Amino acid sequence: METYLRVPMEELKSFGTDCLMRAGIPADEAEIISDNLVMADARGIYSHGMMRLGIYIDRVRKGGTAAETRINVLRSRGATALIDGGNGSGHVVSVRAMEMAIDKARLHGIGAVGVRGSNHNGAEAYFAMQALKHDMIGFCVTVGAANIMAPWGGAAPLLGNNPFAIAIPAGEELPIVLDMACSVAARGWIVLARKNKEPIPPGWALSKEGEPTTDPTEAYEGTVLPFGGYKGFGLALLGAVLGGVLTGAAVGSEVTDFYEDLVEEQNVGHFFAALKIDHFLPIDQFKARMDNFIRELKGVKLAKGFERIYMPGEREFLILEESRTLGIKVSSGVARELVRLGQELGVTPPAPIA
């Protein structure tokens, strides 16, 4: 078990913002990126939190990602738009694209914005959740910034995890926030198992020969399997079409690896949509119906081995509450990396990890 430290949210966010600014990113953008990373950690999605601060900074310093985000609106007609992110930071491009989708939905009831020329954008829930305060349902999907999955029946990686998120407001109950990737298990777990020389569970991956494997090195060199077999493949394909084929972003063999090539533009694509609820039902009625439905679902008899029923996103809201009061959990490994990064950039890390 790795030990961890608790760091106040605001301090961690300021540290992230300062580091990103030292890499040449403008203050307003640095704040968006750092907020996105800190919110991922605060919600317990440590795989997409400050652990990744270093790689985002490396990409900017090596030229793979533009320091400043200059968005170009290629088309904006009716309830839709297509934008080019100008190779800016994926988080910044995504926040702005989602704002456009929300503006479109305010006018037309629904809005959809496709994006090309972007970069890795962190955890998707963040962008879908932008819709919540507007009493809208938010949706986003991204083409994964590395190919790690084969089409169903294949053995060569031509698809990303292609994660997507949906956020739905409720009344007194917590919003529903569904955020998932299309693989059975995140590739990060395979990397970890390989480091620890531990076998992985069956059903996670194929070797590069296309055979099921529990060997983490074979799995690392092979492909991850989609969740639900061909169903998960279908969803990954859908993400690639909406985020990539439709937008002119990279798909299939055009996709390069976020971690391996820090110099070339990746042309990452995303797709965002927002739906204005009161075009269908008065918002109070919708929220009351959501509350009723959530309470019914949470109130059913439990299956064997379960102590409680969680709605999608509920665990993350509970962890967020804890992070707000106790501080964000930062593992000692990530703390060491942040301290080193701070030293390199001349930024003082938050007291608990310094």
Interaction of residue 148 with its own copies, rule CB under 8 A: no
Interaction of residue 227 with its own copies, rule CB under 8 A: yes
By beta-carbon proximity to its own copies, the closer residue of 67 and 237 is 237
Determine the interface stretch with its own copies among 36-44, 124-132, 186-194, 274-282 (rule: CB under 8 A): 274-282
Interaction of residue 171 with its own copies, rule CB under 8 A: no
Interaction of residue 262 with its own copies, rule CB under 8 A: no
Interaction of residue 239 with its own copies, rule CB under 8 A: no
C-alpha of 170 from chain center: 22
CA distance 206 to 163: 20
By beta-carbon proximity to its own copies, the closer residue of 26 and 210 is 210
Task: Report the b/e string of 69-102 with b at 16+ CB within 10 A.
Answer: bebeeeeeeebbbbbbbebbbbbbbbbbbbbbbb
By beta-carbon proximity to its own copies, the closer residue of 293 and 317 is 293
Determine the interface stretch with its own copies among 26-34, 43-51, 190-198, 238-246 (rule: CB under 8 A): 238-246
By beta-carbon proximity to its own copies, the closer residue of 90 and 175 is 175
Interaction of residue 209 with its own copies, rule CB under 8 A: yes
Closest CA relative to residue 224, chosen from 150, 162, 153: 150
Side-chain half-sphere CA neighbours of 224 within 13 A: 25
By beta-carbon proximity to its own copies, the closer residue of 311 and 328 is 311
Per CB under 8 A, the list member of 281, 284, 343, 354 interacting with its own copies is 281
Task: Report the b/e string of 228-252 with b at 16+ CB within 10 A.
Answer: eeeebbebbbebbbbbbebbbbbbe
Determine contact, residues 38/49, Cβ cutoff 8 Å: yes
Determine contact, residues 199/193, Cβ cutoff 8 Å: yes
Per CB under 8 A, the list member of 199, 201, 228, 333 interacting with its own copies is 228
Per CB under 8 A, the list member of 312, 327, 349, 350 interacting with its own copies is 312
Q: Quick check: helix, strand or coil at residue 301?
A: coil
CA distance 250 to 261: 15
Interaction of residue 93 with its own copies, rule CB under 8 A: no
Residue 150 per-residue DSSP state: P
Determine the interface stretch with its own copies among 19-27, 45-53, 86-94, 176-184 (rule: CB under 8 A): 176-184
Which residues make Cβ contacts (< 8 Å) with residue 68, sequence separation at least 6? 24, 25, 26, 29, 88
Q: Quick check: helix, strand or coil at residue 140?
A: strand
Interaction of residue 269 with its own copies, rule CB under 8 A: no
By beta-carbon proximity to its own copies, the closer residue of 47 and 80 is 80
Determine the interface stretch with its own copies among 26-34, 86-94, 289-297, 326-334 (rule: CB under 8 A): 289-297
Determine contact, residues 1/65, Cβ cutoff 8 Å: no
Interaction of residue 155 with its own copies, rule CB under 8 A: yes
Per CB under 8 A, the list member of 132, 241, 339, 345 interacting with its own copies is 241
CA distance 164 to 276: 19
Interaction of residue 111 with its own copies, rule CB under 8 A: yes
Interaction of residue 289 with its own copies, rule CB under 8 A: yes
Binding-site string for its own copies from residue 34 to residue 73, where x marks contact by CB under 8 A and - marks none: ----------------------------------------
Interaction of residue 246 with its own copies, rule CB under 8 A: yes
Per CB under 8 A, the list member of 10, 63, 72, 78 interacting with its own copies is 78
Which residues make Cβ contacts (< 8 Å) with residue 172, sequence separation at least 6? 291
